[in-house]
Amino acid sequence: MVPFQTLYARTHFRNLQIHKLYRSFHSTKYLYKEPITVSTVYDPVTGCMVTKSNEEPDKQQRGERLLNSDYADALKDDRSYGSVMEGFGGGKKKSKSKSKSVWVCSECGYSDGQWWGYCRECKNVNTMKELVDVVDSGKTNGFQVSEKLVQSWLPKGAGEAVPLRLTDVNRGVNHSDWRFPLSGLFGDEVSRVLGGGLVPGSLVLVGGDPGVGKSTLMLQIAAIIAEGKEIGKPAPVLYVSGEESVEQIGNRADRMEISTDELFLYSSTDIEDILVKAQALSPRALIIDSIQTVHLAGVTGSAGGIYQVKECTAALLRFAKKTDVPVFLIGHVTKSGDIAGPRVLEHIVDAVLYMEGEQYSSHRLLRAFKNRFGSTDELGVFEMSPCGLKAVKNPSEIFLSEERSDSEFLAGLAIAVIMDGSRTFVIEIQALCATGSSLSRQVNGVQAGRADMIIAVLMKQAGLKLQSNAIFLNVVSGASLTETAGDLAVAAAICSSFLEFPIPSHMAFIGEVGLGGELRMVPKMEKRVSTLAKLGYKKCVVPEPAAKLLRGLDFGEFELLGCQTLKDVINTVFITS
């Protein structure tokens, strides 16, 4: 590759030839569509390293400015290729259109006013992509996305609006009527995650790993919205897929026993075409499966690329806001766990929902990651069945193993109650203390550091001689313990295995363990305890202050065992009466 900054540094005399060389190099590159590369070369004029890239077709246009500019002046100060090139153009604005470049990182979404060889936020190389906002240019050159392309979806008359008083805005508006309710157990679960129903004109992104069940979820939501049981009348809903044919979707709907008349299927990848069809149909909701497969004519790059994804989403946002039709977008998740087509997408949309699920488990969790219309604490729990997703009636129990009743005979098993958002989950923690084997520690589902701390506290403050034991910890069903509220259950499981004393079934443990062996309160004690009471547990060991606090409340026959330290716990639980 020609290190052209180095070439510029020679003499004025050779300018023209060098420029030709630069142009021919670029035009060849253009023809063969070389992959974008970034490299850093030593520049003898400035005495600095200069980073350059072979990307941006409009560099060719910029190259013309080189002829008329005094590049040497520019080189004096500017050290990066991007700023050098800006310097060339400085003072001689030949371009008729006003344009402003923003460089956006395709990995993390960081934006910068100028090009750097790497992202200054996430430090990835070759991820800064140029986005140009064209103000008055009539044509686009690929990288410039003209508003004209999508302007038919722009809300009109924005200039006529005036600021309103909050009280005037809220007068006569019932916010629960304003949302569209979703009927049934499944609908309730989705509504909860959306913040209490579907908001007209909202743009919702549903992300998740391939095969987790995004299309299945959206098809079911589409059917519920189309049926409109809660509001009494059906209305059309348009489900557009760029991934599957209408027959494939129809086949799936058949398996899931969806038979509403008002669900319309369409297979297309052209966003303008989709929006034209959607406007003609005037649906109650529009679903796009997926944002990575649709494209907007006139925007550079193939479907799924950063420009395409961003501009298609922007066009859909305008459509949603203009027509008040709620739009759902399905988005794939990349290997790094982001929704492909970077974080910029998450900034544009009103709500981001993630669908999660373990590979070998049929349970699926729907979680709000961002929600402009409600809390992000909510969690929907579903189960994948042969005929689609079903809402789980007792989500608190999903992590419990079926042989729970056996725990009376099984030492080393303790029940913890953890919270995820506003939901409580009862999980089983298993511990195995084995003498004679190597002194290793294996933890699964518990943070290793936390487990070490609890083991050390048990040895020092409760006097357990765990030194000569290999200790294994496991959280059943692949759940992971992210809260300190599970500390006490971990300690209890270890004690149980070490003392070979089974913990009575229907006993649970809630509390954080401090370094002094003391038990500490955790948030939402009442909710955790009431979950246990509802599930039929009889006893729960809690920190003494929590027991005092909750004693006045009525949990039926449920007994709270208040303890101050781990020693108290051992004396309360592991004693034969």
Nearer to ligand TYD, 58 or 243 (CB): 243
- Dihedral, CA atoms, 171, 175, 179, 183, nearest 10 degrees? -140
Using CB under 6 A, pick the residue from 255, 372, 460, 551 that binds ligand TYD.
Answer: 255
Three-state DSSP at 218 gives helix
Residue with tokens 């509001």: 231
The distance from CA 352 to its chain's CA centroid, rounded to whole angstroms, is: 7
| Span interacting with ligand TYD, options 139-147, 161-169, 211-219, 229-237, rule CB under 6 A | 211-219
Print the binding letters for residues 128-167 with ligand TYD: x by CB under 6 A, - otherwise. Answer: ----------------------------------------
322 binds, options ligand TYD, Mg ion, none, Cβ within 5 to 8 A by partner type: none
197: its two tokens:
């129903």
Shortest distance in whole angstroms from residue 460 CB to ligand TYD: 49
Using CB under 6 A, pick the residue from 117, 213, 228, 374 that binds ligand TYD.
Answer: 213
Judged by phi (left if over 0) then psi (alpha if -120 to 50, else beta), residue 195 lies in left
Q: How far apart are the first and last CA of the chain?
A: 84
Nearer to ligand TYD, 256 or 432 (CB): 256
By CB under 6 A, is residue 252 in contact with ligand TYD?
Answer: yes
Shortest distance in whole angstroms from residue 396 CB to ligand TYD: 24
By CB under 6 A, is residue 386 in contact with ligand TYD?
Answer: yes
Using CB under 6 A, pick the residue from 45, 48, 125, 384 that binds ligand TYD.
Answer: 384
Using CB under 6 A, pick the residue from 117, 181, 388, 511 that binds ligand TYD.
Answer: 388
Shortest distance in whole angstroms from residue 209 CB to ligand TYD: 7
In angstroms, the Cα distances linking 202 to 198, 199, 267, 328, 370 are 8, 6, 22, 8, 13
How far is Cα 305 from Cα 290, in angstroms, rounded to an integer? 13
Strands 388-391 and 379-385: antiparallel
| Span interacting with Mg ion, options 98-106, 212-220, 320-328, 548-556, rule CB under 5 A | 212-220
157 binds, options Mg ion, ligand TYD, none, Cβ within 5 to 8 A by partner type: none
Strands 237-241 and 285-289: parallel
How far is Cα 95 from Cα 499, in angstroms, rounded to an integer? 81
By CB under 5 A, is residue 292 in contact with Mg ion?
Answer: no
Neighbours of 97 (CB within 10 A): 15
Site for Mg ion in 312-351 (CB under 5 A): none
Q: Cite the DSSP H helix spans in 409-521.
A: 448-461, 487-499
By CB under 5 A, is residue 293 in contact with Mg ion?
Answer: no
Neighbours of 427 (CB within 10 A): 24
By CB under 6 A, is residue 387 in contact with ligand TYD?
Answer: yes
Shortest distance in whole angstroms from residue 256 CB to ligand TYD: 5
Cis peptide leading into 97, omega within 30 of 0?
no
Shortest distance in whole angstroms from residue 253 CB to ligand TYD: 9
Using CB under 6 A, pick the residue from 101, 106, 146, 216 that binds ligand TYD.
Answer: 216
Nearer to ligand TYD, 26 or 332 (CB): 332
By CB under 5 A, is residue 469 in contact with Mg ion?
Answer: no
Using CB under 6 A, pick the residue from 210, 337, 536, 556 that binds ligand TYD.
Answer: 210
Q: Are 327 and 286 in contact (CB under 8 A)?
A: yes
| Span interacting with ligand TYD, options 128-136, 206-214, 261-269, 403-411, rule CB under 6 A | 206-214
**Using the 8-state DSSP alphabet, how is residue 13 labeled?**
G
By CB under 6 A, is residue 212 in contact with ligand TYD?
Answer: yes
| Span interacting with ligand TYD, options 95-103, 143-151, 174-182, 384-392, rule CB under 6 A | 384-392
58: its two tokens:
């409009």
Nearer to Mg ion, 215 or 530 (CB): 215
Using CB under 5 A, pick the residue from 5, 127, 202, 215 that binds Mg ion.
Answer: 215
For 318-324, which contacts have Cβ atoms below 8 Å and span 24 or more sequence positions? 318/150, 318/153, 318/154, 318/155, 319/153, 319/275, 319/278, 319/279, 319/286, 320/201, 320/202, 320/203, 320/286, 321/155, 321/201, 322/153, 322/154, 322/155, 322/156, 323/201, 323/279, 323/282, 324/200, 324/201
Three-state DSSP at 280 gives helix
Computed over its alpha carbons, how large is the radius of gyration of the chain?
A: 31
Nearer to ligand TYD, 89 or 208 (CB): 208
Using CB under 6 A, pick the residue from 82, 181, 197, 208 that binds ligand TYD.
Answer: 208
By CB under 6 A, is residue 214 in contact with ligand TYD?
Answer: yes
Using CB under 6 A, pick the residue from 91, 155, 211, 516 that binds ligand TYD.
Answer: 211
- Count residues contacting Mg ion (CB under 5 A)? 1
**Closest by CA position to 417, among listed 442, 403, 444, 397:** 397
295 binds, options ligand TYD, Mg ion, none, Cβ within 5 to 8 A by partner type: none
Shortest distance in whole angstroms from residue 114 CB to ligand TYD: 39
- Count residues contacting ligand TYD (CB under 6 A)? 15
- Binding stretches for ligand TYD (CB under 6 A): 208, 210-216, 252, 255-256, 384, 386-388
